[in-house]
Amino acid sequence: MQYISTRGQVPPVDFSTAVAHGLAPDGGLYLPETLPDLKPKLADWADLSYPQLCDAFFSLFATDLDRAELSAMIERSYQNFDHAEIAPVRKLSDSLYVLELFHGPTLAFKDFALQLLGNFYEAQIARTGKPISVLGATSGDTGAAAIHGLLGKKGVRTFILYPDGRISPLQERQMTCTGADNVFPLAIKGSFDDAQAAMKTVFEDREFADEIGLSAVNSINLARILAQCVYYLYSFYRLPAALREQTTFVVPTGNFGNVLAGWLLQRMGVPIKGFRVATNQNDILHRLFQTGTYALGDVAPSVAPSMDIQVASNFERFIYYAEGCDPDKVRAIMQTFKSSGQYTFENFDPGTFSSSRTDDAGIASIISEVYRKYSYVVDPHTACGFTDLPEGPNLILATAHPAKFPDTIAEALSVDSTHPSLEALKAKEVVKHFVEPTPEAIKAFMREHKQA
């Protein structure tokens, strides 16, 4: 299996190279040269455990890795989840289900990919003998999951940009209270979009990337997306057989990576009915699917901070397929968006996508209503998924544990939502570094703190 850039200006690479680079050298995002057809495999995979299913799936993509080594990495990646099923499906009613993706080490869906990516990086360092510097940007959960996926990995230095004061205090503590001397949480003044834009510019400097051994943990890294495909397939099998092909997957999303994973799986032949993109008040994706125009707006801080995003970095992968896999069109569209802040698609067809928007008041109301109706506590991001549900069965992806957002939960409910791992952080020292959200400042910091 080879991997190509959405912008089409670099040669295809193997899986390990795509993972190591993260961002393609031409500024595009990697995708498989061809997507496999999973239809002939669906019956055989139905009864596999989560690690077994992940192993079977990745064997189609990581074809340059030793098969036994790949299986061992996957097995290790899911040992620190606190539920036997890894990604359990919770039934709320005969037509409403929740996929719980918060049973990993940092209590967020990002753990599914980043525990695995950490093991991929460890194997890469063992093969090449070269240390790496991992750079990421987070609106809340990615940073903590990346850090914890890389803790204890020899030869790794981890640098995570995040908007100071715009993530929850416990999300920040998960990044800044590790006590590890090779972890650098970098607080910036500004929004997640500012951090992400600076990060992508750093990756485009290939001379610096080679100098520092730069690698990516954001969902620009294709391994993140492929790892997230697995829980869609796993949950598809755990729905009642009669409902599987009738069920809409409802996905709280800001950066488009989570829902893109499910959509790619659908393109591989898995008969998922459709996807509901659930946004908070930062609704660039909702506006796109309603109007066909992808247009920047101001980022408004919300009680669902991981979705406080306007520029969805994974949207470029969607554009590639929506425009007939034409890299020339992708480059033109991305240039138009970069220069004008918007792009209107001709004859836009949302396909199996629909969308919804929920503001802060709506989130609080939903948290209260879901608890009253189902005795179930949802975090503020998952709450967005309950807005204007489509007809028929729905499966809502629960993206984070409610204990990560205690203030929001306490305002909506008279319920104490805590988790032991989060409570333990409150007594630890916060260590963070302040940098300007510019490529020059970030590169200077990384050079100063790179691996000896």
Name the maximum alpha-carbon separation found in the chain: 58
Helix segments in 181-256, DSSP class H? 192-204, 206-212, 222-238
Which amino acid would we find at residue 407?
Answer: D
Residue 263 to residue 251: CA distance in whole angstroms: 11
Q: Of 39, 41, 91, 110, which is the active-site residue? A: 110
Among residues 235, 233, 236, 203, the alpha carbon closest in space to that of 217 is found at 203
Q: For this structure, is 130 an active site residue?
A: no
Compute, in degrees rounded to 10, the torsion defined by CA atoms 222, 228, 229, 230: 130
Neighbours of 226 (CB within 10 A): 23
Six token digits for residue 118: 């950490």
Task: Compute CA distances 149 → 2, 117, 134, 327, 354, whole Å.
Answer: 26, 7, 11, 33, 33
Among residues 92, 91, 89, 141, the alpha carbon closest in space to that of 113 is found at 141
Neighbours of 291 (CB within 10 A): 12
Rounded to 5 degrees, φ, ψ at 242 are: -70, -20
Compute, in degrees rounded to 10, the torsion defined by CA atoms 237, 266, 22, 119: 10
Q: Which residues contact 397 (CB under 8 A, 6 or more apart)?
A: 98, 99, 101, 109, 249, 250, 251, 252, 258, 382, 385
Six token digits for residue 434: 């302040």
Three-state SS annotation for 424-435: HHCCCCCCCEEC
Q: How far apart are the first and last CA of the chain?
A: 35
Among residues 321, 273, 270, the alpha carbon closest in space to that of 38 is found at 270
Among residues 32, 36, 39, the alpha carbon closest in space to that of 271 is found at 39
Residue 404 to residue 65: CA distance in whole angstroms: 36
Six token digits for residue 295: 């247009």
Task: Please name the residue that has the structure tokens 């199996």.
Answer: 352
Residue 119 to residue 77: CA distance in whole angstroms: 7
Q: Which residues contact 66 (CB under 8 A, 6 or more apart)?
A: none
Instruction: Show which residues are catalytic.
Output: 110
